[in-house]
Every structure is written in structure tokens, then in C-alpha cells.
Amino acid sequence: MRNTPLFAGLSEADCIALQQRAHPRTFAEGENLFTQGDSADALFVITKGRVKVWRASEDGGALTLTLLSRGQPIGTLGAAEDRRNHATATAVTPVEAMAWPIEALRQLMETSAPLAANILRTVTNYAEQLIERLEEMASVPVEQRIARTLLRMARRAYGEETADGCELPLSRQDLADLTSATLPTVSRIMSRWRMKRLIAGTRGRVKLLNLDALARIAERPPT
């Protein structure tokens, strides 16, 4: 827990106070941690498993906003401002998390400037990620978007380091959702990368074999 951004720079007393108010929660695969439109009444930090954060559109579709894993906080917007959940968080795998009631967390924020700063920083980071994604959708080719997404997920420790690269628990559908691309397009690009030995993996997992080559694609689309 001390490695989560929520605890960064906190005093020992603040850490103890935060831990004392935490409640362990478990969620089955497919269960929602919270639902879009409901009152934002808790903040979670994932301790085990993976979570998809997504938003339902007016036409009945679903937009995947991000995928999160161990150590990452969810629900910080409710802590920063009294509002309803702007999205739904669903357990992709069985999930274990620590939860804080929003009111208890706000009381701690009033006496701990570092905690309040950590909450604000997390909200800002998520907002920056969404802005970056919108910019990419408007002006960046699909192949470049996929490379950037894979590298971002690797940097955020969503996957696991291996002897020959980094393995991410991502399906082709996950990548299509995260890059706002079609599944056939993602499949075609990833098949080409597999032939070039840039990636490997099995169903539902992607192993990044050549990070330098993917970084070059991420910087500019291949000709």
C-alpha cells in the first residue's frame, strides 16, 4: 500500500490514520466497484487484480477509458468534489481493494496537505491521459496509437516484466477499445508486428519484444 500514489510523501502519522480508515473489499470478475451515475461515496486502491473503467454513451455504446491494476487509485474525482460517478469501474479479474468512505477521506484531507495534493495530482493525471487520448484520436494514425498505448500500459506497470520483454494482459479487443480502432484493424496491425518479431503472446496477452522499434512507431507512423 505504501507504494500507491495515495501515500506518496505522507508522514507516518498520516499513513497510520489513512490505514485505520481503510476497509478491505473483494469483487468477483464482472462485478462493479461503482456505477456511472451513482453517488461517488468511496475511493478504492487496487491491491490485487485488474479493473476496467468505462463510460456508457447515449446511444448505448461503451467507451473504455482506462485499464488499471495493483496500486492504482479509483474514485478520486469524488474525493476532490461532491459529485456522481462519471464512469463505471468493473472487475476484469477477481479484485481485492482497500476502500475509504469519501467523507472520512475528506476529513483526513483537511488535516493533511500532502494527501490533498496526492488526490489532486491523481485527478489531474487521469484528466491529462484523457486529453492525450482525444488528441490522438483526432490526429494520430491507428498504428501509431496502438504503439503508444502499449508503451503507456507498460510504463504504468499494467503488465509483468519478462526475460525478453514485457507482457501485458491485453486482448486485441482491449486495444481496439483503448485506441478507438476497429478490431479487424488492430488484428491486422498486430499480426504484421508479430511477423516482424516486435510482439508475441497468447490469447488475451501481448508480449512486447522490441520496445525500441515500438517507440519509433509511436513517435511517427511507419512509411
Residue type, 102: I
Grade residue 79 by pLDDT with cuts at 50, 70 and 90: low
Q: Under DSSP, is residue 198 helix (H, G, I), strand (E, B) or coil?
A: coil
- Domains of the chain (ranges plus CATH)? 5-137 (2.60.120.10), 140-219 (1.10.10.10)
Sheet-wide strand order for 62-68: 32-34, 88-91, 51-56, 62-68
Grade residue 145 by pLDDT with cuts at 50, 70 and 90: very high
The runs of H, that is alpha helices, within the chain are: 12-20, 76-80, 102-111, 113-139, 142-155, 172-179, 183-195, 211-219
Give the least confident one: 18-22, 85-89, 117-121, 155-159: 155-159
What average pLDDT does the chain have?
A: 87
Q: Report the distance separating Cα 90 and Cα 88, nearest Å.
A: 6
Give the least confident one: 31-35, 138-142, 162-166, 201-205: 162-166
Cell numbers representing residue 131 in the block: 486529453
Confidence (pTM): 0.81
- Average pLDDT (122-139) is 83
Q: Report the distance separating Cα 20 and Cα 22, nearest Å.
A: 6
Give the least confident one: 49-53, 86-90, 131-135, 197-201: 131-135
